[in-house]
Structure 1
Amino acid sequence: MSQPALIEYKQENGIAILTLNRPEKRNAMSDAMRAELVEMLISVRKNPGIRALIITGSGKGFCAGGDIAGMKSRMDADPATVGFNGWERQQGVHYAAALLLNLPIPTIAAVNGSAAGLGADLALSCDFVIASDTASFSWAYIARGLVPDGGGMYFLPRRVGLARAKALIFSGRKVAAEEAVALGIADQNCAGDSLLKCAVDMADEMSSGSRTAIALTKSIINHSYEMSDSQVFAEGSKAQGICYTSSEHRASVQGFLERSKEGAV
């Protein structure tokens, strides 16, 4: 009997939905689950028919963080191998986060419960975060003698500011949905039974424009904090040159000109 997929995939009307599927472990991220996530993100990127992506969790949790079984195996490993094996594992963690960050389409985390550690980092790797009324976020790495390794040190300060990010990481405290919206960790709160509908509605809204323009804008704005104004302007100039040649732009201009002739503008 085959094992159920660690990540379930569904596509509806151009929107891909990935559901973390280890409900008995509150969707804790195992190495095998991460490998499936990477495979699916690559597949989504290659599919021109997908215009937005939603990530959510099955059961009562979004993602409880790293799999405790992996932590135990690290404790039992030969000390001489722990450092390099840990470094190698981190490359996989960061590859998955970078794939999600750099997908050329809008991405949404529909957080249906606890998002802890790697789970909270996974949510913030998405462009937008919608929290159900039962959602919570926490970065308790330091309580376990670790640093946030799933992108939290990059994403969290960009959402809440440097001092608040430090406070959340140093304390590891749990942030409920309403406060998460107030702090900017999440973009909106949605009742649990309508969470996925809220996410689909947002995906429709955020992906209704030119695919080319969205992809190019995202590629620049994701890194605008690290660039000078002249660098952002230069990247924008190159992107606009590409947009001038896109089928979406040409169709939009042609439609505008035709409406102008008819007096509809």
Structure 2
Amino acid sequence: MLKVINHQLYSGNRIRELQLRRPPVNAFDIDLLQRLHSGIEQAVEDGIGAIVVSAHGASFSAGMDVKLSVNMNREKISELFQALGDVTLAVGKSPIPVAFAINGNCLGAGAVFSLFADFRIMSRQASFGITEVRGGMTLGKHVFAALSRILGPHRAQEFIMEAKVIQAERALELGIVDRLEANHLLVSRALAWCDRVLKLPSKAMLETRSLCREDLHEVLAYFEEKNQKARVDDWFDSKLNTTITKVLKT
């Protein structure tokens, strides 16, 4: 499900890689989400300097496992949404830098999580899309805010409202990812970025990072306080279920 790899660099900096391993496309179920959340929190507790989130296989993540979740009862759906929120908060509020090494298609929840990271590096063959609207799901204010930091409000609205999926070159042009790289070099380049920022004076780097991310923290505080009940109610709406069923059949 989740492989934990510790990297001790020549510089002495400690970086932890959290590698998604849920074949065939690393779709998120409750277990994987909870493991990822715990992995991020544990890295902080262990005094790790930075985190790299990577994935095994041809896809980074296809997003939430809709095929599994469509048959869940209300209690399980509530648990799933809680787990999705926990990962978003763990990435967005992490006190240490987080990099995403995106090796393949990065859709839905996987794409959303990456927006809250400090650094995104992507394979030249990968694609990126926040596709929830295609499945009839409404996105939260926090997603729009995170994407607006990169694209500006108008382009962010267009991107998420139309559920666009773009290729790696376009993602780089828009600034959604910071760099493109060959697949086999993704993790090493992400580690190099982490090492570079960790070589800076720690207190100054971390305090400046926190200052630059204050807007994200504010919108995440709003997200954290928001009751998940409305999202659960939406999930069991008959129109949403009909839309999801149609998507699964295509």
**Could you say which TM-score interval applies, normalised by the shorter chain?**
0.7 to 0.9
Which one-letter code corresponds to 2:3 in the other structure?
E
* Aligned residues of 1:23 and 1:61 also touching (Cα < 8 A): no
Offset at residue 88 of structure 1 (A): 5.3
Match of residue 32 from structure 1 = 31
Give RMSD over aligned pairs. 2.1
Hey, which bits of structure 1, 4+ residues long, moved more than 6 A? Answer: none
Match of residue 2 from structure 2 = 7
Pick from 201, 211, 222 the counterpart of residue 220 of structure 1. 211
Which string of whole-angstrom CA distances, capped at 9 and with x for unpartnered residues, describes residues 177-209 of structure 1? 111011011011111121112111111112111
User: In 1, distance between residues paired with 2:105 and 2:21?
Assistant: 14
How many pairs align? 213
The equivalences for 1:15-30 within 5 A come to 15-24=15-24, 26-30=25-29
Offset at residue 146 of structure 1 (A): 0.2
User: In 2, distance between residues paired with 1:29 and 1:19?
Assistant: 13
Offset at residue 12 of structure 1 (A): 0.9
Q: TM-score, normalised by structure 1?
A: 0.74
Which segment drifts farther, 120-129 or 57-66?
Answer: 120-129
SS in 1 for 2:6: strand
User: In 2, distance between residues paired with 1:95 and 1:225?
Assistant: 15
SS in 1 for 2:52: strand
Match of residue 72 from structure 1 = 70
Which one-letter code corresponds to 1:174 in the other structure?
V
SS in 1 for 2:106: strand
User: In 1, distance between residues paired with 2:201 and 2:52?
Assistant: 19
Which one-letter code corresponds to 1:128 in the other structure?
F
Call closer, same or farther: CA 1:103–1:196 in 2, change over 3 Å. same
User: In 1, distance between residues paired with 2:186 and 2:141?
Assistant: 24
Any stretches of 5+ residues in structure 2 without a counterpart?
9-13, 219-250
Which one-letter code corresponds to 1:46 in the other structure?
E
User: In 2, distance between residues paired with 1:178 and 1:225?
Assistant: 26
Call closer, same or farther: CA 1:123–1:38 in 2, change over 3 Å. same
Which string of whole-angstrom CA distances, capped at 9 and with x for unpartnered residues, describes residues 233-257 of structure 1? xxxxxxxxxxxxxxxxxxxxxxxxx
Call closer, same or farther: CA 1:36–1:97 in 2, change over 3 Å. same
Offset at residue 85 of structure 1 (A): 6.1
* Aligned residues of 1:105 and 1:207 also touching (Cα < 8 A): no
Offset at residue 28 of structure 1 (A): 0.5
* Aligned residues of 1:90 and 1:149 also touching (Cα < 8 A): no
**Identity rate of aligned residues, in percent?**
26
User: In 2, distance between residues paired with 1:71 and 1:65?
Assistant: 12
* Structure having the higher Rg: 1
Any stretches of 5+ residues in structure 1 without a counterpart?
1-5, 228-265
Which one-letter code corresponds to 1:100 in the other structure?
V
Please say if 1:54 is aligned against 2:84: no
* Aligned residues of 1:104 and 1:214 also touching (Cα < 8 A): no
Match of residue 103 from structure 1 = 94
SS in 2 for 1:61: coil
Which one-letter code corresponds to 1:105 in the other structure?
I
Which one-letter code corresponds to 1:175 in the other structure?
I
Which string of whole-angstrom CA distances, capped at 9 and with x for unpartnered residues, describes residues 47-106 of structure 1? 22x2111101110011110012333224xx3xxxx4x76555433322221111122221
Match of residue 194 from structure 1 = 185
Which one-letter code corresponds to 1:181 in the other structure?
L
Offset at residue 168 of structure 1 (A): 1.1
Q: TM-score, normalised by structure 2?
A: 0.79
Please say if 1:145 is aligned against 2:136: yes
Whose RCO is larger (CA < 8 A, sep 6+)? 2
Offset at residue 10 of structure 1 (A): 0.6
SS in 2 for 1:45: helix
